[in-house]
Structure 1
Amino acid sequence: MQLWQQLMGSPDTHTLEAIIFHTACIFTGLLFICSIIFNYLIGLYTLSILLVPAVFSVGFVYYLSKFKYRLNLAVTIFCVLGNLLFIAFFLKNSGINGPGLVVYLLFFFLVISIVPKNQRFGWMAVNIIVAISLILFQYRYPELVPVNYEDNLSRHLDFSYVYFFTLIIIYFILTSIITSYNRERLLAEKRAEQLEIANQSKNKLFSILAHDLRSPLNSIQSFLEISMEVEIEEEEKRSINSSLLKETKYTGQMLINLLSWSKTQMEGASVKMLVLNLEWALETTLLLQTSLAEEKGLILNNKLQQNMYVIADNDMLELIVRNLLNNAIKFTPPGGQLTISSEVHGKECWIKIQDTGIGIDKVDFDHIFSLNSQSTYGTNQEKGVGLGLVLCKEFIELQEGRIWVESTLNVGTTFFISLQISSQNDLFALHLN
């Protein structure tokens, strides 16, 4: 199957018309080669010699299209030479008493399969004019188109041979057209699905920009306007400042996720896989998250194993852990606990982020990592937009890792991410650097 695709051309590098043309060239070349041998065996020596340059001509137009990407030129040469060859074939192989018209009909089928739509009527007119002219020529000058068969058996064998090859070529050409059509149809359906997803993503972004990013700005603007007109007591001002600071922090995280996700959608993510000491790589992130947890009255336990080396992208790993910890803080009521730990499972390192929060309903598991998930408020009315877990899934898969979740309502949630553990060779290369 792979060899066949190499001969026909890949859909990534050649058009549907080019693939059909290559199929036609290969089977036409095989037909000519077999015909040289067959015609020689039944005594049609002149016809065998005539087909030798035809084989080279077919090989040339195949090369021109397959390797030089000159499909239009190759098709034009194929059509012109095919008509000239048929005229010689008709005159040298008994005219209407031979299989010439059947071969010409097959040639027209090949032509109509590969020429541009605006040329089909023109080549059909050429086919009709050539066929009728040759028939009239033989009718007017029958002595110039003699029957070349040695006996009736040779004639029957020649017709049987042409019928067999005509059937084979039509079958493979039609199969190639149907297969290519189905492949194009599936690609079109896939593109339509991707477009629908892109439209959903666009709507999601507009929704975020229209509401979630505008809301904190309106709060800040209102506070500033009131503070300029009305004297606010110090205690009330501190309360408002605390509320605005909290809202600004979550808005900042929201913006980071939004910008990171938008970049991956528009430019594609650039992954830099390195050997990382897990504890060192997450040190800064855990310090910041510990501070956020303490503000809400939560305890963050760090149980990451020492000297655990994984292969990952440092920035992506930090963003993933930061989002998962933010989620844990968001959905865990004051007085709860969060734990980040690591375990070795074969060649994988599992990083577990566990909380004692409100949990996730099992019906939400299927879309929790997609844009179809609905944003929800945390235990202190913290706002999110549902992009964090989408980013986590995309970024962990870019690092050839996995992410999954286990949860029980009103008990807690545990998110797992798996990364490849670094081998001794990787560690040796790290120390050399």
Structure 2
Amino acid sequence: MPKLTFNIFPKEAHHGDESVWSNLIGGPSSFSLESRIFHSISICLMGISCFYIPYNLYAGLYVASFSAFIFGIFFFHQYYNSRFNARKHNNTVFGLIGLLIFGVNYFANSGIHGSTDLIWPAYLLLVFAITPYRQHLKWLTGYLVFFIIVHGLEFYYPELVKYPFLEGEGQFVDRISTFPIPLVVVYITIKFIRQSYDREKKAAEERAIAVEISKQQILIQKQQLEDSNSEKNKLMSIMSHDLRTPLINIQSYLELLNASEVDDEERPVLERALLTSTNNAVEMLSSLLHWSKSQLEGPSVHLAEINLLRSLQVTLDMETAHAAKKEIIVSYQIPADIIVKADLDMLQLVVRNLIANAVKFTPKGGLIHVIGEVLAQECKITVTDNGSGIPVDKQDKIFSIKAEPAIG
């Protein structure tokens, strides 16, 4: 324990008596609860001793006055060493000095008819407050035995007891002047124990709140990780779905070019179609990767005014070529002057997936029609086909990442 310098008027003293009192008894960071209780009791008992020394002299109670003097000197010595010299108070000496002084005062102050018996329990409570738990039973036993011995001596040897007070007024004054001592001891002891309990309770509640907050944060982080994984799975599903069509188109053109029956007139047409399909695939792949990267960093929408037909032309051409392999006709009716405010990548992604799914579930020789029209202040894009459609029991799940793909 560090050595502390005593200053009865610290800088914070003007904030109130509480700062002065805290300086006198020491702070929780430097002293244990037992030490702070001892400091408080010592200060109060020194003040009471300063009152009782002259009072007992005036009343002719010289033994009681001397006892109060010894009591005050003892407490001052123990308090000063504990508070300012970092020497812990001596529990054994403290307990024994109480037995000695109260034993002498008992016989000098009317014995069982005096006021000494009022102080025994309060002093024992103080002993309990400043000593470790393991010593409590020993002190309780010691005080009970000493109490019985003192009263037994009075019973068998009543001449040992002195009666400085007369019955009536003298006894009344003695009791009234002694009664505050146990009250002060009990009040300060209970106050510190209650304050310590309240602090521990508050600290426990704060720890419980901190644990609950930490638990909530863990759950939130867990949910964020699950959402992030879901987003990544969704993006991978979208990329694999969207890349399949252009790659199949390129594969088909390459198979035709390798076929022996392709003549010189058809080859340039197929090569131009292959180049167009490849360029469209590269453009779509570039846009898709750029959009996927931005979504991994957090969902974001970049709105801009775009021409609807020009924005969807590559997508429409690519899906038309893909549908032709199933002899499905894709037609579209989108006015060239429609301007919409939308996210280009998301718009292409949605239309591309709608048409691809229509191709997937439309039978051979079917029809797919894409319509773009302006309704009031909104633009409506409709993709219709003559395929099997979506079963009623699965329509509620089509916008969920957990939706299972079906075979077309």
TM-score by length of 1: 0.50
Report what 1:117 is aligned to. Answer: 133
CA distance in 2, matches of 1:240, 1:334: 13
Contact 2:105 2:116 in 1 (8 A): yes
Matched, 1:44 2:39: no
Matches within 5 A, 1:123-162: 123-149=139-165, 153-162=169-178
Report deviation, 1:52: 2.1
Contact 1:43 1:150 in 2 (8 A): no
Which amino acid counterpart does residue 218 of structure 2 have in structure 1? K
Report what 2:115 is aligned to. Answer: 99
Structure 1: which 5+ runs fail to align? Answer: 252-291, 299-331, 336-433
CA distance in 2, matches of 1:154, 1:3: 38
Identity of aligned residues (%): 24
In the superposition, relative to structure 1, how do residues 84 and 217 fare at CA in structure 2: closer, same or farther (>3 Å)?
A: farther
Report deviation, 1:248: 3.7
SS at match of 1:250: coil
For residue 206 of structure 2, the aligned residue among 164, 169, 190 is 190
Matched, 1:247 2:264: no
Matched, 1:164 2:212: no
Superimposed CA distance per residue, residues 331-373 of structure 1 (whole angstroms, 9 cap, x where no aligned partner)? x9879xxxxxxxxxxxxxxxxxxxxxxxxxxxxxxxxxxxxxx
Report what 1:61 is aligned to. Answer: 78
CA distance in 2, matches of 1:212, 1:14: 51
Contact 2:123 2:185 in 1 (8 A): no
CA distance in 1, matches of 2:83, 2:209: 31
Matches within 5 A, 1:29-428: 29-67=46-84, 73-149=89-165, 153-212=169-228, 215-216=231-232, 219=235, 233-250=281-298, 297=304
Query: How large is the Cα RMSD of the aligned pairs?
Result: 3.9
Report what 1:7 is aligned to. Answer: 24
SS at match of 1:187: helix
CA distance in 2, matches of 1:77, 1:214: 72
Contact 2:110 2:164 in 1 (8 A): yes
Q: How many residues align?
A: 259
Contact 2:56 2:65 in 1 (8 A): yes
Report deviation, 1:85: 2.4
CA distance in 1, matches of 2:139, 2:293: 76
CA distance in 1, matches of 2:29, 2:71: 30
CA distance in 1, matches of 2:96, 2:221: 56
Report deviation, 1:11: 4.1
Superimposed CA distance per residue, residues 314-336 of structure 1 (whole angstroms, 9 cap, x where no aligned partner)? xxxxxxxxxxxxxxxxxx9879x
In the superposition, relative to structure 1, how do residues 334 and 12 fare at CA in structure 2: closer, same or farther (>3 Å)?
A: farther
In the superposition, relative to structure 1, how do residues 238 and 181 fare at CA in structure 2: closer, same or farther (>3 Å)?
A: same
CA distance in 2, matches of 1:152, 1:187: 53
Contact 1:65 1:74 in 2 (8 A): no
Superimposed CA distance per residue, residues 260-304 of structure 1 (whole angstroms, 9 cap, x where no aligned partner)? xxxxxxxxxxxxxxxxxxxxxxxxxxxxxxxx99x6549xxxxxx
Report deviation, 1:114: 3.7
CA distance in 2, matches of 1:140, 1:333: 109
TM-score by length of 2: 0.52
